[in-house]
Amino acid sequence: MLPERVFMKIGSSNMLIKGENLVVLKRLALMRRGGAIMNADGAPGVRLIYIDPPFSTGRVFRGAAGISAYDDTRSGGEFIEFMRERLLLLKELLSANGSIYVHLDWKMAHYIKIVMDEVFGRENFLNEIIWSYGGRGAKAMSRQFSRNHDVILLYRMEAHLFNRQFVKKRIPVKEARSMGLKRDPSGAWFKTAPRGDYTDKSIERLDAEGRVYRTRNGRIRIKYFFEEQGGCLLDERLVGDVWDDIPDAMHLAASEKTGYPTQKPEALLERIIGASSNEGDVVLDAFCGSGTTLVVADRLKRRWIGIDKGRLAVETARKRLERNREPCP
């Protein structure tokens, strides 16, 4: 049972707040100045902010039962100023080594990047992340390329915490040789890469560990071994700025679907929260919608603050949080 469910006022380490986020952010900024918002390491402020604001679609969104969720009717300068006001307050809330992710699409992302350059400084822009979810967009018959991605802008403060993220791809063993993979005398499968800037001393150490591969013409390459599991090799790869391994909400498991429009996958937030926060840190979502950020933050042992003015959003988030905290039978 969630100890305190929906907050009409602020005052807990975990807060789900129903209200206009501009007003709430001003109150949170006062709390931050007073030392009431603190991360696990004692750093004041919020370690990570993720927001998935309206996209300036001109649409009115409703839930599965036809209940009104939110209006997305701001456009042009009105939308830009709406975002600028909130970004200024969000910056004030961030810790000195905090990060902010702003999730948009092709319509307004380039405008908001200019605003974020102004608010956070161009030097603090880290990534334009492309979330390529595929499977929808303009129909194949349309006279344009399908729109199958969103844009997530990542900025930092003076510094930032970052935990590298990896993804594991499964390769059937029977396809390994056709993909250029090799097998060690020990039976382990591996791939190779150029030695790069490894020094001769480092090469000696790697050679002693069985990690040096010499080509027929004597060139040195480095072995990278695969874990083998259930007839497949697990290829661990560092995540870059194109995320094409996370499907959109249309392909969620039934157990994850809430019926809330524009819901984002938990896998997307797991990557963001894992990359830019540690256990006990504070994660803030000022447009929390169905509560995906809060549910994932809770599961990953972060503290969280969620804000939304929509009744459907707050009720959906509250129910998800309660359900996810119930003990398994």
Residue 33 lies in a domain: yes
Judge contact between 319 and 16, C-beta under 8 A. Answer: no
**Of 257, 249, 268, 261, whose CA–CA distance to 312 is shortest?**
261
Structure tokens at 290: 């169905």
Q: Domain ends where: 191, 218, 236?
A: 236
How confident is the model at residue 270, as a pLDDT? 98
- pLDDT tens-place string over residues 50-99: 999 999 999 999 998 889 999 999 999 999 999 999 999 999 999 999 99
98 and 244: one domain? yes
Residue 55 belongs to some domain of the structure: yes
Same domain, 215 and 275: no
Q: State the Cα–Cα distance between residues 287 and 87, nearest whole angstrom.
A: 12
**Same-domain pairing of 69 and 218:** no
Same domain? For 138 and 248 the reply is yes
- Please state the length of the chain: 329
Claim to verify: residue 267 and residue 172 sit in the same structural domain = no
Q: Looking at the structure, do residues 43 and 119 belong to the same domain, yes or no?
A: yes
Give a yes or no: residue 10 inside a domain.
no
The answer to whether position 283 is within a domain reads: yes
Same-domain pairing of 49 and 142: yes
Sites in the chain below the pLDDT cut of 70: 1-12, 135-141, 326-329
pLDDT of residue 140: 58
Query: pLDDT digit string (tens) for 127-136?
Result: 999 999 976 5
Task: Tell which of 195, 218, 236 closes a domain.
Answer: 236
- Coil, strand, or helix at residue 64? coil
Q: What is the domain count for the chain? A: 2
For residue 303, how many other CB atoms are within 10 A of its CB? Answer: 23
Task: Judge if 150 and 176 occupy the same domain.
Answer: no
| 68 neighbors 27 (Cβ within 8 angstroms) | no
Give the predicted TM-score (pTM) of the model.
0.86
Token pair in block for residue 269: 């937030």
> What are the backbone dihedrals phi and psi of residue 308, each rounded to the nearest 5 degrees, phi first?
-160, 145
Residue 229, domain extent: 168-236
* Residue 5 included in any domain: no
Same-domain status, 245 and 152: yes
- Alpha carbons 283 and 302: distance in angstroms, whole number: 7
Q: What distances in angstroms separate CA 256 from CA 150, 165, 225, one per listed residue?
A: 21, 23, 35
Within a domain: residue 104? yes
* Domain match, 93 and 46 both: yes
Output the pLDDT for position 98: 97
Residue 302 belongs to domain with CATH number: 3.40.50.150
Cα distance from N-terminal residue to C-terminal residue, the chain: 15
* Residue 274 domain-assigned (yes or no): yes
Asked if residue 218 and residue 80 are part of one domain, the reply reads no
pLDDT given for residue 11 in this prediction? 46
CA distance 204 to 211: 10
What is the residue type of 82? Answer: F
Q: Is residue 7 part of a domain?
A: no
Q: Which of 236, 257, 279 is the C-terminal boundary of a domain? A: 236
User: Which phi and psi angles does 97 have, rounded to 5°?
Assistant: -120, 40
Query: 306 - beta bridge partners?
Result: 16, 285
Residue 169: the pLDDT is 86
| Together in a domain, 109 and 23 | yes
